[in-house]
Structure 1
């Protein structure tokens, strides 16, 4: 049966640049769009403002070549989406400008933005460390970066969510529960604390078992309301000392999705992502969803 589209839903948007990583992102995004009963919008951005394009001798010829590459990338993406989710409604946009700025503007009408982790680089590369990281901090909706050799195809394993014990992680928890419920898999909720929260000279005097119990209570309190809403989602709580990023990366080896929060700001200069989110984006073995506190309402 062909995937349906629920009335009034925002599309899932995927950015492509003609790379193999982008096609992985398209396949992941197509399956996710079908799961959410919405359409897939494939976008590529041709940077016509690049200095090379602006040169009189090269400008027009190079611009036409970039536009032709963009159209080929969209055609390949549409084929990959149809293969991953037959019958899914797919539309395509070829846009011009700065990839970060253009895609960030487009996220106002999306419920999810999906990107590959290793783009072509250069003029149009959507690569972790530049476009993907910047958009994770600036997008108006949650961003998924498809990582891992089999990240676009993995259909087993739990959803993992990082919980920092503050209200900032509430949006990530909500996203994680919804993702686990829609996939019919367990949720692994990870919460860690670090010794730097305590004065070094007091460390020998502290009762670490008692602190660990307090942190388990913190995690339970953060999950309580969501557990009531998603009663059918089995939850495994993991509490540890130190190394949130390393723990999330370790758990990602057997997961199908890792969800992290972000302290990013959505304005033009706001590129604050957070050390944990940044590290997980670079080293996770599976796709990573970055959910900023102010993007939760944009998800559907």
Structure 2
């Protein structure tokens, strides 16, 4: 769905603005339209904070207009700064994770900041992060404040992807290869493995299996530089370390072997919370 819109969770917070910047960069490369989505959940009087409002103010028509103005203004500014891109905004009501999961069915990509205020307060803390990343119908990119923009010295950093031979990992590999080719940066393929009785003797077989999965992408993108690293130990630690000089880290929603259960429980939270660059979670539609 390369022509489908990029949906951005937006609430005016710093993290949301960083996520929007990342989404606009992706849109400039792909030509996809961008839609800002502000979602707030009206549960308790003390549980809602709107732009310019203190906790404890119930969202009335005035607050609603403030939110709509916020989203409309952000979309207009983004559109003005990016001639040729279509940027729109919309306000939704309901549980943020559920609304975004539903809206993702029509999106080509969902981009989120790791935290926010107002509608996205605590959105990506704990189990909610796993729910959004694991159950969205399209790839989800999580951008932490400070991990969205790329310093000049790291602008040629690779796109890193974790693979284990599973079908979700192959889908993630394709996503990563496309992003690396778009950005004209190397693709770094990482495979976590557990040494058996023979120790490093099994490395050639492991490497051959990974290389086989890369053949279609080497043919599709012949100018793309691809490296393969086999790393013993924890997949989460491997990918967090790789994120230190990467433009983007890509994983599938679940796999086998080194990445089994990658996005269930604490391992996914480690990657989302501690990666030094944006994290893309890719699942089959």
Question: Do the structures match in fold with TM over 0.5?
Answer: yes
Seen in structure 2, the aligned counterparts of structure 1 residues 288 and 69 have a Cα distance that, compared at 3 Å, is farther
Residue in structure 2 matched with residue 298 of structure 1 by the alignment: none
Say whether residues 1:81 and 2:75 are aligned partners: no
Deviation at 1:152, TM superposition (A): 3.0
Residue in structure 2 matched with residue 224 of structure 1 by the alignment: 215
**What 5-or-longer segments of structure 2 have no aligned partner?**
48-54, 256-260
Q: 1:25·1:152 contact (CA, 8 Å) conserved in 2?
A: no
Q: Distance in 1 between matches of 2:173 and 2:157?
A: 17
Residue in structure 1 matched with residue 254 of structure 2 by the alignment: 263
- Equivalence map 1:124-273=2 (5 Å): 124-147=121-144, 149-154=146-151, 155-195=155-195, 206-263=197-254, 273=263
Q: Distance in 1 between matches of 2:136 and 2:273?
A: 18
Residue in structure 2 matched with residue 202 of structure 1 by the alignment: none
Q: 2:15·2:145 contact (CA, 8 Å) conserved in 1?
A: no
Say whether residues 1:120 and 2:114 are aligned partners: no
Seen in structure 2, the aligned counterparts of structure 1 residues 245 and 75 have a Cα distance that, compared at 3 Å, is same
CA offsets, 1:144-174, max 9 Å, x none? 0012514234543110000122223111000
Q: Distance in 2 between matches of 1:131 and 1:17?
A: 17
Q: Please, which of 85, 103, 108 is the counterpart of residue 105 of structure 2?
A: 108
Q: Distance in 1 between matches of 2:220 and 2:10?
A: 36
Please give the root-mean-square deviation of Cα atoms over the aligned residues, in Å: 2.9
**What 5-or-longer segments of structure 1 have no aligned partner?**
1-5, 199-205, 265-270, 296-300
Residue 188 of structure 1 aligns to a residue whose secondary structure is strand
Say whether residues 1:14 and 2:8 are aligned partners: yes
Residue in structure 2 matched with residue 46 of structure 1 by the alignment: 40
Q: Distance in 1 between matches of 2:229 and 2:80?
A: 37
Seen in structure 2, the aligned counterparts of structure 1 residues 156 and 69 have a Cα distance that, compared at 3 Å, is farther
Deviation at 1:62, TM superposition (A): 2.8
TM-score, with structure 1 as normaliser: 0.80
Aligned length: 269
Seen in structure 2, the aligned counterparts of structure 1 residues 276 and 11 have a Cα distance that, compared at 3 Å, is same
Seen in structure 2, the aligned counterparts of structure 1 residues 184 and 159 have a Cα distance that, compared at 3 Å, is same
Q: Runs of 4+ in structure 1 displaced over 6 angstroms? A: none
Deviation at 1:255, TM superposition (A): 0.8
Q: Distance in 2 between matches of 1:259 and 1:25?
A: 16
Deviates more, 1:118-127 or 1:245-254: 118-127
Deviates more, 1:127-136 or 1:22-31: 127-136
Say whether residues 1:26 and 2:28 are aligned partners: no
